[in-house]
Amino acid sequence: MTDISKAGTFKLGTHSVKRVGYGAMQLAGAGVFGPPKDRKGALAVLREAVASGVDHIDTSDYYGPYITNQLIREALHPYPENLVIVTKIGARRGEDGSWSPALSAEELARAVHDNLRNLGVEVLDIVNLRLMFDIHGPAEGSIEAPLAALAKLQRQGLIRHIGLSNVTAKQLEQGRTIADIVCVQNQYNLAHRDDGPLIDQLAATGIPYVPFFPLGGFTPLQSTALSDVAARLERTPMQVALAWLLQRSSNILLIPGTSSVDHLRENLASADLDLPPDMVAALDQIAPEAGRE
Compute the distance between CA of residue 52 and CA of residue 61 in angstroms, rounded to an integer.
24
What is the signed CA dihedral for 88, 82, 17, 206, rounded to 10 degrees?
70
Q: Is the Cβ–Cβ distance between 147 and 130 less than 8 Å?
A: no
Number of Cβ within 10 Å of residue 237's Cβ equals 20
Q: Please return the burial class of 139, using the count of CB atoms within 10 Å of its CB with bins 0-12, 13-18 and 19+.
A: middle
Q: In one letter, which amino acid is 260?
A: S
Q: Is the Cβ–Cβ distance between 257 and 25 less than 8 Å?
A: yes
> Phi, psi at residue 212, to the nearest 5°?
-90, 160
**What is the total residue count of the chain?**
293
Active site amino acids: 63
Of 171, 182, 237, 186, the C-alpha closest to 206 is: 182
CA angle 229, 231, 237 (to 5 degrees): 65
Strands 159-165 and 181-185, bridge-based pairing: parallel
Compute the distance between CA of residue 84 and CA of residue 14 in angstroms, rounded to an integer.
10
Strands 15-18 and 84-89, bridge-based pairing: unpaired
Residue 256 DSSP label: -
